[in-house]
Amino acid sequence: MPEPTSTADGPALDLPPERLPRHIAVIMDGNGRWAQQRGRPRIEGHRRGADSARAMTEECARLGIEQLTLYCFSSENWKRPRPELDFLMSLLVEYMAQQRAEVVRRGVKVSVIGRREGMPEKALREMDQTIAATRGNTGLHVCLAVNYGGRAELTDAVRTVAREVQTGRLDPEQIAEQTIAEHLYTAGMPDPDLLIRTAGELRVSNFLLWQISYAEIWVTDCCWPDFGVPHLHEAVRDYARRQRRFGGLSTESGLA
């Protein structure tokens, strides 16, 4: 029988490895709200949110989670005030530069999904350097959704498929769900098993619309800067108790 998840570095979850989610995706919401509730500038919430992202990455690696996808910056976030946008971009550059050596040391692989158009050159350069430096790593895969939108991703996939049909490389009658999946930004990645959303909002906010079709959703009222290891453990334990039927019947119910 497999041993429960545990390491010398922290508490065990008392769960067999097969009950853990393979891929966790997170909508990191509530940074600005957290700051405003404390009478602080919104940028302080984003800085504290980056600390939560770092802690989440370390704990997912410790637990043996295969992939963690973090919704860092949506394509709709460009509507925010310019000073906040400038800070978010500078925070991304800082995070990539400062954490690069650490993620390499820990064996973490980093990738980024989203459109590159409109992103500052410095941010793109730092992201590309981190991706290149960690490409050969085989530990936790951290995927950052930056300038990302689910509808934009689907639009880009359809455009690529249409071009392949137009040039004769693809027969329209052969297009299947797998064809679409192979043309998404996330091609080759497993779909999320668990979607976590903070700050109590009950919507998916244009995040991984195709990929979360069968994800288990876990929502907490906790704002992202306050999200810590205990919250992650609570979400994973709740996930482990659920029966994932994918449209069928549970074998444990005796009705399959």
Catalytic annotation, residues = 29, 77
Residue pair 205/74 in contact (Cβ under 8 Å)? The answer is yes
Amino acid residing at 65:
I
The C-alpha atoms of residue 72 and residue 222 are separated, in whole angstroms, by 17
The C-alpha atoms of residue 52 and residue 207 are separated, in whole angstroms, by 20
Using the structure block, give the residue that is written with the tokens 């907490």. 220
As a 3-state breakdown, the chain gives helix, strand, coil percent values, each rounded to 5, of 45, 15, 40
Residue pair 87/77 in contact (Cβ under 8 Å)? The answer is no
- CA distances from residue 213 to 85, 190, 192, 246 in whole angstroms, order as listed: 31, 12, 9, 9
The C-alpha atoms of residue 210 and residue 184 are separated, in whole angstroms, by 9
| CA 87 and chain centroid, separation | 21
Tokens of 193: 């098993």
In degrees to the nearest 10, what's the CA dihedral of 215, 219, 222, 227? -20
The C-alpha atoms of residue 57 and residue 73 are separated, in whole angstroms, by 17
Using the structure block, give the residue that is written with the tokens 């065990």. 12
Show the DSSP H helices in 108-193 as ranges.
Answer: 121-134, 150-166, 177-181
